Structures are given as C-alpha cells and as structure tokens.
Amino acid sequence: MKTVSLVTGDTIPVIGLGTWQASEAVIQQAIHVALDGGYRHIDCAPIYLNEPAIGRALQRYLARENVTIKRENLWITSKLWNSFHAPEQVEPALKQTLHDLQLEYLDLYLIHWPVAFKAAVGLDRPQRGEDYVALEQIPLTATWQALEALVDKGLVKNIGVSNFSISKLKTILAIAKHQPAVNQVESHPYLPQTELLTFCQQHNIVMTAYSPLGSGGRDAAFKKPDEPSVLNDTTIHAIAKSHAVTPAQVLLAWQIARGVVVIPKSVHPERIQQNLAAIKVKLTKDDMEQIDYIDQEIRYIDGSFWETAGSPYTAQGIWQ
Ligand code: A2P
C-alpha cells in the first residue's frame, strides 16, 4: 500500500476507508471487504455512531484463523468530538473510543472541529446557544495540549486536527510540543484547498481529503437542494473515459498525485475495491491541469449547522 510520511516519521496509507454515514448494519461487511481487498487504513469518529460496530468487525477480522494481518499493520484514525474539548474531558473521550474500537492505541487522533460544546451535549446535536462553548473559554491550544498528553502516555501515536484553517493551524503550531501531523478537511476539485495544502506542505502537515467524491450520499440535513455533484463533472468524466477508469478513480488519483491522503466512504464491495484501485491510475500533467482549472469554491460541508441561534460560531468564522 502506498503511504505518505508524517512529521513523526510514521507513514499513513494514502487511501483509507471512510465510515461517515455507514450504518452499523453494513459496516462490518464493508470493513471485511476493505481489509481483504488491501485497505489498511480506517477513518472513524465517535459522532458517526458506529465505532462499536467497527470495533467488533476489527476484532473478528483479526481473530480469523487464515488472517496474517496484525493490529500493527493497520492505521486507525479517530476524532475528539466537540463536546469533549475541555482538557479534563479529552482522555476519557479517547478511552471511550478505544473501548468501542477494542484497541489499545490509535494511530491518529484528530480534533474533529474547531467548535466546542458543553460536555453534557455528548453525541447529541446542540439545540440551544447555551449548548456551545466559545473558543475564548476553551482555547484550541488547551485542547491541543491535552492531545499531546495522550501521545506522551502512548495512547495515540500521532495527533492532528480537522476542519482547521491556516490561521487556526498557526495558533497550534505556535505552542505545539508535538506538531500536528495531519489536517483533515473537505477537498475535491470543487474545493481544491490549494492555499491550505501549500501551507500544510510547508509545515510538514499532511492534508487528508474527506468527501473526496463529494459525499453525495449525505443526509438531507447536510445538503443544499441545488448543489452540483463533482462525481458528475464533465471534465472528470472526459478524463475518466480517456483512461478507461471511473470518475471516482480520477477524483482520488488527482488527490494522491497532489500528495493528499483520501478517505472515500463506500459500503459496496465493488466500489470499495474500485476506490483502492485508484492508486494505480496515473493522470497526465494535462489531466492534472484540467482538473486544477475547474477551480470552483463549493463547500458541501459548510459548517452552517453550527450556527444555531445563540451559538458563538458562524460558518464564515470556522473557515477563517
Ligand atoms: P456507497 O457507500 O453507497 O457506495 P465521499 O467519500 O466523498 O463522502 O462519498 C461517499 C459517497 O459516494 C457515498 O454515497 C458512496 O456511496 C458514494 N461512492 C463511494 N464510492 C463510489 C464510487 N466508486 N462511485 C460512485 N459513488 C461512490
């Protein structure tokens, strides 16, 4: 499996299986198909509400008699949910994830959003302004230092962030004892994140693209009625046709060629395999330029869902 080197010297597999919106009922089969097919990287989060099912799937897979893969051959990422940013909440939150995933350690633990809730919100959605906590009250730097303590205790091997802008990354870099290894953000040709990618590469931070296929299966709550689908883009289709591959494979191959890790989600065996096979797709310089030229600014996961009345957060502020 092709990998990308992190600032710690560890190497992350360039394709991982995304698990957002994968229900408990189907995730076990998806994990087994993925591991059989050669995936070694699974991207998880407690808010996806399927970590216990993923834990059972991993446990069963690793216990199979004819399987030679061991825990240390896998790369498992999870994320600290917004309700647990207070430094004293961080280790218990990680321990719950380790319990659910049935693991002793994580390869990578990310701050999921630069947005904080009261601990009582747990894994529910905040309903009122009072459910939120402003970053002035729990600074991201304090949460970061609590993640660093997890590295020192050997509970996580690498730490990073998700949905962080350049200015928020700078805030962390200014105080970090352990540098952020990864910034996981939405990215696809309609949101190439070129400036952020350049900043990350200059600071030895690997960018991971979530929603690399445009996350078309998203819940209606996260969708605008008229949004264009990057998987249906005509330039992407033409390039796919010229290489006799699928549009999804072109979207993934483009990111990999830019040095970006991808975590496409699928629960269908043929797509899980097709997505991994994108590693073998070699785009030409002209293909890359054509895709770069699409250059739109369509953010599917725009953060507006954290704008509940009375919330101190705005979508614009999140990305600033
Ligand atoms: P499914 O899970 O039913 O296969 P993203 O990774 O950008 O969030 O996109 C995930 C969405 O794209 C899901 O709806 C998933 O559906 C679908 N998908 C995953 N792989 C492919 C593929 N190779 N071709 C088309 N759609 C795909």
Summarize pLDDT for 29-76 with one digit per residue, the tens: 999 999 999 999 999 999 999 999 999 999 999 999 888 899 999 999
Residue having the nearest C-alpha atom to atom 16 of ligand 1? 266
CB distance 46 to 79 below 8 Å:
yes
Ligand 1 centroid – CA 125 distance (Å) = 25
Per-residue pLDDT tens for 22-42?
998 899 999 999 999 999 999
Give, using CA atoms, the residue closest to atom 6 of ligand 1. 264
- At 204, the pLDDT band (50, 70, 90 cuts) reads very high
For residues 196 and 207, is the Cβ–Cβ distance under 8 A? yes
Number of Cβ atoms within 10 Å of the Cβ of 82: 23
Residue 176 confidence (pLDDT) above 90 = yes
- Please report, rounded to a whole number, the percentage of residues in the chain having pLDDT higher than 70: 100
- Report pLDDT for 272: 98
Q: How confident is the model at residue 217 (pLDDT cuts 50, 70, 90)?
A: confident
**221 falls in which pLDDT band (50, 70, 90)?**
confident
Confidence band of 218 (pLDDT split at 50, 70, 90): confident
Q: Is 48 a catalytic residue?
A: yes
Residues lining ligand 1, judged by CB closer than 6 Å?
Answer: 18, 211-217, 231, 246, 248, 264-268, 271, 274-275
Mean pLDDT of all residues belonging to the chain:
96
pLDDT of residue 108: 98
pLDDT band, residue 142 (cuts 50/70/90): very high
Best substitution site from 252, 266, 279 to test ligand 1's pocket, by max atoms within 8 Å of Cβ? 266
Per-residue pLDDT, 220? 82
Q: How many other C-beta atoms lie within 10 A of the C-beta of residue 116?
A: 26
Kindly tell me the sign of the dihedral angle through the C-alpha atoms of 85, 88, 89, 91: positive
| pTM of the complete model | 0.98
- The residue whose CA has the least distance to atom 19 of ligand 1 is 266
Of 131-140, 162-171, 294-303, the poorest mean pLDDT is in 294-303
| Placement of tokens 């990111």 in the chain | 255
Q: Is the pLDDT score of 304 beyond 80? A: yes
In this prediction, residue 311 has a pLDDT band, given cuts at 50, 70 and 90, of very high
Structure tokens at 68: 């030679």
Give the mean pLDDT of 10-20: 98
**Averaged pLDDT, 120-140:** 96
Q: What is the pLDDT of residue 163?
A: 98
Contacts of 225 (CB under 8 A, 6+ apart): none
- Cα of 141 from ligand 1 centre, angstroms: 35
Distance in angstroms (rounded) separating the CA atoms of residues 243 and 93: 45
Which residue's alpha carbon is nearest to atom 18 within ligand 1?
A: 266
What is the predicted pLDDT for the residue at 43? 98
